[in-house]
């Protein structure tokens, strides 16, 4: 798809892969809605994205909210829709890796709150405004199974387990939303991806600097913009290629169960 005159919301886009993706979009002439939780960092990122897009007509606007709060997610959605009633592509990029157990304002384990509950609620709030694609950032570190009795790390905290669980949940959410969109006859697609093993703050925190350069991290941009993917939905991409997701993601009953849990946790109301 051409990015010219298209509107992209990229959550968590003040640094790392989110900022890199936002800058690439702006270089293609897109309007990028930059999001972060620090006003100063948001404004700095907006300037960086605008500079990247100057020669192509790309622009940027900033939004500051903490996705660890469900109320913050709702405020973000309200602010975005007031600013831009049409969002061509929503990229749920924001994510955290927490070395120790922390709770969100709503009482959820923080990794779950930011990586799972927030994109679920934000997408529900913004879906009526989305015209083309929802892109969720998952990971090759996703778990292979989900224990509904340990979603909040009740049995003892492990940073890697919490992160892996959150990324499996993102894939399950992606596939279920894609199915619901298709059954509703919507033209909007929903896909997810591993962004690559990239030297970001998150990688350094969890695994060390063992990845590729940030400027080479283009998987997210590809899934958000590749014209060949215009009609592709319910897909998981690794290294730019469609890849088999963990087998449990094909379990419709499991997907629906998680959807119900997240509806109860977030109070999300869906249009599909």
Residues noted as catalytic = 163
Question: What are the DSSP E strand ranges found in 86-215?
Answer: 87-92, 130-137, 189-194
Residue 214 burial (CB count, 10 A): 16
Question: Distance between CA atoms of 126 and 103, rounded to whole angstroms?
Answer: 25
Contact (CB, 8 A) for 228 and 268:
no
Residue 157 burial (CB count, 10 A): 16
Residues 6+ apart with CB under 8 A from 5: 29, 30, 31
Q: How far is CA 157 from CA 110, 179, 184, 268, in A?
A: 11, 33, 39, 27
Contact (CB, 8 A) for 38 and 12:
no
Q: Residue 130 CA to chain centroid, in angstroms?
A: 14
| DSSP secondary structure code for residue 11 in this structure | S
For 237, the 3-state DSSP assignment is strand
Question: Distance between CA atoms of 129 and 82, rounded to whole angstroms?
Answer: 11
Dihedral, 241, 6, 70, 101 alpha carbons, nearest 10: 40
Question: Distance between CA atoms of 16 and 20, rounded to whole angstroms?
Answer: 6
Question: Distance between CA atoms of 86 and 131, rounded to whole angstroms?
Answer: 7
């Amino acid at each position: 798809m051409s990015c010219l005159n298209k509107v992209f919301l990229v959550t968590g886009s003040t640094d790392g892969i989110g900022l890199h993706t936002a800058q690439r979009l702006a270089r293609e002439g897109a309007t990028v809605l930059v999001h972060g939780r620090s006003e100063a960092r948001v404004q700095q990122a907006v300037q960086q994205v605008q500079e990247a897009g100057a020669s192509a007509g790309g622009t940027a606007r900033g939004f500051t909210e903490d996705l660890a709060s469900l109320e913050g997610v709702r405020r973000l959605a309200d602010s975005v829709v007031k600013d831009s009633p049409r969002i061509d592509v929503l990229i749920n990029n924001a994510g955290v890796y927490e070395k120790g157990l922390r709770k969100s304002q709503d009482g959820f384990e923080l990794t779950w709150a930011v990586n799972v509950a927030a994109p679920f609620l934000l997408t529900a709030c913004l879906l009526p405004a989305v015209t083309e694609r929802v892109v969720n950032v998952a990971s090759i570190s996703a778990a292979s199974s989900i224990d509904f009795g340990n979603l909040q790390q009740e049995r003892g905290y492990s940073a890697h387990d919490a992160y892996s669980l959150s990324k499996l949940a993102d894939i399950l959410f992606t596939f279920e939303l894609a199915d619901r969109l298709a059954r509703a006859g919507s033209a909007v697609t929903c896909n997810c991806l591993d962004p690559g093993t990239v030297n970001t703050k998150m990688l350094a925190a969890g695994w060390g600097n063992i990845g590729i350069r940030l400027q080479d991290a283009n998987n997210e941009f590809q899934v958000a913009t590749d014209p060949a993917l215009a009609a592709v939905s319910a897909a998981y991409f690794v290294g730019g290629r469609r890849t088999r997701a963990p087998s449990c993601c094909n379990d419709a009953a499991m997907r629906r169960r998680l959807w119900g849990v997240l509806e109860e946790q977030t109070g999300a109301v869906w249009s599909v």
